[in-house]
Structure 1
């Protein structure tokens, strides 16, 4: 039931996670929610807690990947790009569950985990602690944007331009020429 609730919240939002919908997705009767978990509030709390645990495992795997990047601002830029692509692509259901948790005001543990991840990433890549805060802030804003895909190739090109610009301004990475993806995206969006 907990996994079914987490999936439903991620796919359709918390408003769709009614007792009847969750029970149907789990293959149980709606009364099983009250009997086994004490109600919908506890079920949703358990679903968000499951998401927090899964996000912790996911972050640990990304930390191992990021540790292989070269130290410095360029490594941090590539870490940011990689994590954003993985979070909003293969981990999209978990990312959507996180956004719902934040919207419901119960995402504090997740946000702390993300802040810690970016702090540790900065340290791993030999950057000052403030860089971890900047990486986290950039990640939070860009992840939300990239959860609404409309043109994968163009979005990835825009992300590269944005990450490179961020790294040059905030992490003292070498400035790279823009590829023009952001302008192309603005024209495409009208």
Structure 2
């Protein structure tokens, strides 16, 4: 091949710049309590009902009930003031909760009880004989038969796979200054 076979190029055009990906609008933000995605425009986490708006903390449930918001799927149980609910897989021992927990192998048939007192306090007790996989409140292991006072936003684990967040408990009254 000699130089006469070459075609002259009068102008060299650089390749076009790579296309920049278009930025997607944000889908939402992560909840500070449970890490679920809170879609843009929502004021509360759909999983644990934590407010994403500044200055709002306690979620009030109609009728003064305490709401147990289970992780995933929007499942919850409401416990009216002055009542008790049993948490477990046994339909005869825990009729309200067993429908939600029946397929949860890590939850005992008779796991724990939650009492929502008439004064608004809520107390959780693991059954005295103990639950097979234990109960935790905010990573603190419960001693079977001993009760613990719950507060709004507490995270409760019934064994290693079932978790709920407690909502609707009013803050405790402050002591009057003397």
Q: Same fold (TM over 0.5)?
A: no
TM-score by length of 1: 0.22
Higher helix proportion, which one? 1
Q: Which has the higher strand share?
A: 2
- Of the two, which has the highest radius of gyration? 2
Which fold has the larger relative contact order, with Cα–Cα distance below 8 Å and residues 6 or more apart in sequence?
Answer: 1
